[in-house]
Amino acid sequence: MWQEATVNPRCCIKVRTSALSACRKDASWDHAFHLLRAISSDGLQLNLIPINVVISVCEKSGRWCLGALLHRGLRDQLLKPDVITINSAVSACEKANVWQPALRCLASAQQCSIKTDSITFNAAMAACEKGDRWQDAVKVLEDMRRARRAPSAISYGTAVSACGRGQEWRWSSELVSELRSRGLQATVVVFGAAIAALENDVQWSRSLAFLAEVQNVRLQANVVIYSATISVMERSRMWQYAVALLKDMELSDVQANVIPYNSAISALGHASRWQLALDYLAWVNDSSIESNVVTLAAVTTACDRAGNWQQALHLLVRAVSQNLSNVVSYGAAISACEKNEEWKWALDLLSSLLAQSLEVNGVVFSAAISACAKASMWQHGLALYSRACSSGVERDVALTSSVINAAGEGHGWRRSAQLLKELHFQKQTLNLVAYNSAMATFRDAGQWREVIHLFQDMERDGVEVDAVARGVAVDACENAVAGPQAPVLLTHLQSAQLRRLQEVQESRRFSSAL
């Protein structure tokens, strides 16, 4: 029909509007614009109906810009938009994942006293959800109530989902409570979003309460609900609950995928339950569920944390053969080799990883450097650090601490001092292992001043000072006090620090007297 209306200038506006509706069915936005221009050029009286149809065509075809321009262009035609215009424009923005224009359309409608409905507000909230703007989604919900448009379960579900994406569990839980207080029935999607919001704040008991509520109101918990709850258990280091939830999911005949199994295996990895992680990997392989990169990386990490380097290597070989390896699986295997002082294997794996042109992070380099340090191959460790820096790897705490430790193993106090200056200039901090290694290196070299400075830096940076650090500091103090520079040493120590070191020194004397 639209072809005939385009070529026949005698067609009335009613016929051409019908032709525009045909364009909407086919999402033919270019033909719709051609017809709209033809209406104007043929001198026909333009009204709001064809413009609304064209905006709707833009919405269906994902041309949100054109829909928004038409919405603005109504003012030039001295036509006032109606609720259909606003809804089509906001929905076009929502489907195109652009939240700013959606909010501008809503604000424009409110300023011009254009009547809006629940569709308007729901579409605006959905745009905010997709744009990870949970605050704006909550504000739109508040505006909806202020405009006396009763929010539906869909309205609350969208707002809860937005808060879930923003990890704002307090807001999502409050909105679920408000939904219930209004006598509305929460859906599985709403509960899933509320549980997902609990992940980062380790609110495992709340997630179990939400799951229980799903079952109490006789909703069918799906794989999304179970995946979100098991993920909270993984983040909370509650592996027993993760395993129990998997069994509950299997008994409920839920159509499962690999995601909840990945989370459960990761939870087992945190607890060093590598045998059980392998059992679940075998179960996944025997079922219709297809394992992925995350699955094998999680099991390899479980073996790494348990120090089972041979099993970690076996899993990595399997991942490579199935084209399911990534930086995480390689990093876990290298870390497992580091724990068992298998430095040659660690270097071979790192070389293999670098040859694949994958982006290697500081954690992987630091594990290889630590492996070299443990095997007294500190020169290799320093060379790896140089390569990491030249490759643009971020010098994080793990990387810098490992190289300080490697330099300490080589008794290279000047190299350690140089690295410490670089880190101080970059405002980087060290971990306990690196501090202890650097302090021991300076103590052995008779550089007591550096030992005291590092001891002070530990407390300033909030690093927990352990017995090793205090022992090294006491050694430095005892050696220095015997020399002519003892008064200078004491001025470097605050009274609380000096008192703690004196307590360690008195404890040593008491032990030697026994």
The pLDDT tens digits for 447-480 are 877 887 787 788 778 888 777 777 777 777 666 5
Mean pLDDT of 422-447: 75
Q: What percent of the chain has pLDDT over 70?
A: 75
Helix residue ranges per DSSP H, 42-82:
48-60, 64-73
The contacts of residue 88 (CB under 8 Å, 6+ apart) are: 52, 55, 56, 58, 59, 67
Mean pLDDT of 245-269: 92
Contact 23, 35 (CB under 8 A): yes
The contacts of residue 298 (CB under 8 Å, 6+ apart) are: 262, 265, 266, 269, 277
Q: What percent of the chain has pLDDT over 90?
A: 31
Instruction: Name the residue with higher pLDDT: 71 or 327.
Output: 327
In whole numbers, what is the pLDDT of the chain averaged over residues?
78
116/82 Cα distance (integer angstroms): 8
**Does residue 421 surpass a pLDDT of 80?**
no
Look at the domain 1-140 and name its fold.
1.25.40
Stated pTM of the model: 0.70
Buried b (16+ CB within 10 A) or exposed e, 80-103: ebeebbbbbbbbbbbbbebbebbb
The angle subtended at Cα 173 by Cα 204 and Cα 116, nearest 5°, is: 150
**For residues 99, 103, 109 and 113, what is the CA-based torsion angle, rounded to 10 degrees?**
160
Mean pLDDT of 8-12: 47
Digit-coded pLDDT (tens) for 149-185 = 889 989 999 999 999 888 888 999 999 999 988 888 8
Contact 96, 128 (CB under 8 A): no
pLDDT of residue 36: 54
226/206 Cα distance (integer angstroms): 14
User: Where residue 507 falls among pLDDT bands split at 50, 70, 90?
Assistant: low
Strands (DSSP E) contained in 75-219 are none
225/303 Cα distance (integer angstroms): 28
Digit-coded pLDDT (tens) for 335-368 = 999 999 898 999 999 999 988 877 888 889 989 9
Length of the chain (residues) = 514
Q: Tell me which of 278-292, 294-308, 349-363 is least confident.
A: 349-363
118/96 Cα distance (integer angstroms): 20
pLDDT of residue 147: 87
Q: What are the residue ranges spanned by the domains of the chain?
A: 1-140, 151-233, 443-514
Structure tokens at 425: 């200039």
